[in-house]
Amino acid sequence: MTHDLDTIRRLHVMAAGVRGARVAEHVLPAPFEDVWQAMSALDFLPDLERIRILRTDGERLEALALSKYGFRAHLRGYRRPGWCWLQSRFLIAGMAAAPTPDGAATRIALTGGVRIPTRAAVVPFGTLRELDHAAHRLSARLDRPGPTGHGER
């Protein structure tokens, strides 16, 4: 017997395999297409100063990110509608989006953090607060009221 996972549940499963990872879930009052277009640009994450897509090959993505603290990360991963998982030697970033049943709003989930090299773990301190902040930045970018829901699910 198999079960299809929506993108939000898939993100929870991926985060469960990373010690210290937290997932923030929110609902944005905007249609999926608008939310995903803003999310897939990847530039709403609060600790990023700049991100540049280096290469795409189908769903595969390679990007160079510069943090507001001056750190650089060469991220590699996958991006498809409603789903993105990127990691570098020192960072993990994951995001998912799915329309609500009525299609009037979009559920989003975010995870990520500073990765501990050689281990499937992230430093959990302040991560959930940063993820919630990212959801608010995304909502502001969409020029919509703030997200509902927050924290771990």
The domains located in the chain, with CATH, are 7-47+82-141 (3.30.1370)
Tokens at 150, concatenated: 């927050």
How confident is the prediction for the chain on average, in pLDDT? 85
Q: How many angstroms separate the CA atoms of 89 and 131, rounded?
A: 20
Q: What is the pTM of this model?
A: 0.85
Enter the DSSP assignment of 146.
P
Q: How many angstroms separate the CA atoms of 42 and 36, rounded?
A: 10
Q: In what order do the strands lie in the sheet with 72-80?
A: 23-28, 106-114, 91-99, 83-87, 72-80, 60-67, 48-57
- The residue with greater pLDDT, 144 or 69, is 69
Q: Is the pLDDT of residue 58 over 80?
A: yes
Structure confidence at residue 75 (pLDDT) = 93
Structure confidence at residue 128 (pLDDT) = 77
Using CA atoms, how far residue 91 sits from 27, 72, 94, in Å, is 25, 10, 10
Residues 69-73 have a mean pLDDT of 85
Q: By C-alpha distance, which of 41, 22, 14, 16 is closest to 114?
A: 22
- The residue with greater pLDDT, 70 or 30, is 30
Q: How confident is the model at residue 109 (pLDDT cuts 50, 70, 90)?
A: very high
Q: Is the pLDDT of residue 62 over 90?
A: yes
